[in-house]
Structure 1
Amino acid sequence: MPLRLLVIEDSKADAQILVRELRKEGFDLEFIRVDTPKELQAALDGSSWDAVISDYNMPAFSGLDALQIIQSSGLDLPFILVTGTIGEEKAVAAMKAGAHDFILKGNFPRLAPALKRELREAEMRRERQQTLEDLRRAHEKLELRVQRRTAELEVVNEELQAQIDGRIRIENDLRGCAIRLIDTEENLKKKLATELHDEIGRDLTVLGINLVIIKDSLKNDAPENLLERVEDSGRLIEAISLTIRNIMAMLRPPVLDDYGLLAALRWHTGLFTKRTGIAVTIQADELIPRMMEEKEMAIFRIAQEALINVAKHAASREVTITIRIDNGLLRFTIIDDGKGFAPSSSTNIHDGSGLGLKIMRERAESIGGNFCLASAPGKGISITVEIPLEAE
């Protein structure tokens, strides 16, 4: 494809000389010559050009004027100035203004190499500009994709946050329900224990007194087998009374209300050891302060549940209960020397579903405490509950 050359020269003869010189060096040229600003602007507007060669001094305008017109058009073309004579300062000024080379008319052999060089550099500039443009477009596309993905992520994040908030609300509601259920359970147990004591206990006492009266009235003339029946009934009433007292104690141990947590634990672990043969050691600060009723009851119930699990699942021989006061916290720990379990299986132990652990955790959380369990196969189980102490 021919090289399209724009020649800015007032001398037609000089223009022919430089074109002939270039063709002699192998250039296939198509060119036009202009020598006024108007002709130059028309040429720039009407066609595309590969290079510009301009005389420095012309009657209508100068080579620097031509350079400025080309630059104002936004074109990046190789621009070579040619002249008969020029001082060094003007040559430097022309190069600073944007001319790519400066050739003396008496040195035309330099023209072809200079043009080849400037064409290569112009091509490199175009490639570099195209690369920059491609990078800019790629960056814009990437930025647009990032903006879209960010917007999508914001929507997803909002949805996830809404789900998390909803789950938190549900968990809080469930925790509140668990606390209310625990309170209701304890109130029902307390009410049942009171009714057993006030109603059935009273009736059994009256029934026992009546049997004594009947027995005394029948001693002289009653058949022996009838007296034995009366005595058997008296013993049965005593047994029923004992059973009811035990049930009352399990529902609502009076020792807990009357003497506090430590005394209640000692009473309960004593019964536990007699029933199971598993030794229980209690290590506690003797000056354990009385706490709010629901806190003492929660810890007592956690101890009950833990001991039930020890008896059912742990294959333990000894249990240690520790109660300490530290930095405003009551720390309750119960440790057994049983078979333990892997933490990953903690949801499948205790009644097959982790219910025992869940109950203990809910009781601890219901009084503002922290529940922690640690275990390993063959290492037993350690349960720790920390509860803040308050002025109570």
Structure 2
Amino acid sequence: MTWMRAAVAPSKSVVWVGSVVLAGLTASFALWDPLEVYEREHLCQTTFQLMDSLRADIRSDVRSRLLAQVRLAELWSDKASSTPHEQQLGSRLFLDHHDGYLGLEWMDAGRRVLWSVTREGYATRGVAPAARVALSLVGAAASARADTHPTVTPRFPLPDGRSAFRLVVPVVRGGGVEHFLVAIVDVRAALDAMLEDHKDLGYSVSVLDGATEIYRMPGSEPEYDAALTEQGTLELPGVAWTIRVWPKPEILSRSQSSLPRLAMVLGGLLGSVLMLAIHFGRSAQNSSRELQQAHDELEERVRERTLELEKVNIVLQAEVAERKRAEDSHRDLSGRLLRLQDEERRRIARELHDSTAQMLGALAINMDRSVRLVHAHDCTRLQRVLAESGQLLEEVTQEIRTVSYLLHPPMLDDLGLEYVLPWYAAGFSRRSGIASELDIQANLGRLPCEAELTLFRIVQEALANVHRHSGSATVAIHLSRTEDSVILEVRDHGSGLPEGVLEAATNSSATAPMGVGIAGMRERVRQLHGRMEIASELHGTTLRTVLPLGVDG
């Protein structure tokens, strides 16, 4: 029962507060409504009177402009009283003393423009039409009424986006129209001049052509209450516009009595203050709780994001350093490969010069001797020289075949790695004096072309390193395959690799110097998505290469 009373008590308080507020509002509206109706009726009547006055002023001003234009047309029509030059000077004075006028045109009865004058200058007969197009003066006659009364034409747009209308005054002589005087008038500028005296009355004014607003008095406020807006038809010779007038907020505030608002304020003040106090108290409490919760969540997210950014930054720094080391290693490897290529070319050239070229020279000498012996009919010596030449030719052939096989053995393409390795190991042992032990898995079969070439080059480089650096008297080569990979091991029993070279050979990010041969082997293996491992100790070095099958570059 205690919790039920606690729940009912706030409900009663809310009902009591609502009753107080409702009674105050009822009394306030009872006093406010009659006063408000009277004030609005008085304001509407005042607005209507102002609208009617504005309408009459605009009509009067337009008639005055038409009358002045009629007088000017009559003056021009009398050719004996004025020259064309005087007419144009008079036209410019007319434009300067009439606000909103943009230009005048003098036309004959056939609607042909005889000359025109604008505020920017004047144009006589023969001036290019483009000068008149700029102010939309061409075509005014098309809108002129064919009767003998001055008229206002419908509005039309100007090139700069403004709106204008034409005042057309016919000059009648002998019962017919002799000339037309057409004035181009800027709607906004003309109405600003006509309504200049009404700008400070505290009312907003707009003029509409159909449903389009063509003018709004400067300083006018938006229409906030349609019931306070008065409008009427502004009938001019030839056109009919609509004029709308409504009071500005300051006029409404000055015309309204403070008694209705005072009654409303006094009636609902206590209830409003009480309800607002309760509402804002609860809102402040809820906002404070939500703000604290949002603050805690934001701090937690900031901590998490900071940790993530620190981790990402560490990874990025490591990647940048790794990329820089790889680029440096690639540049170093490229340079060393070029130097090695030059050295290999010099070696081949030296071998060809010292061996093959000398044999070919001796063969050329023997051929010359053979020719002389043929002429001398010395068959015994000729046979000996030819036999010697045949032996030299055989040695040259063998030398060229050896160099060619070392560069790229054709047996590798024809028979495969299984048959080329025994031949190459035997040749290496014969040339270097290092005993080679070869262990090839039975029925090894053919491997992908790129894998066979890569493994052959690795064996070449490994045996060359054994011969140049290890000091080992023996070397063992083991080649085998599984279902998805091929494994090559080359093991010697020499002095092992120095510590710095071993680190560079096993770690791509190391900065220690490394031979171009090891770097080249590692690059070949990387291109085939394999791995190369080098293990070195005091009594020998083992190079192990694993290539996945099915990868052909």
TM-score (norm 1): 0.47
TM-score (norm 2): 0.34
* Structure with greater Cα Rg: 2
Q: Work out which structure has the larger RCO, using CA pairs closer than 8 Å and 6 or more positions apart in sequence.
A: 2
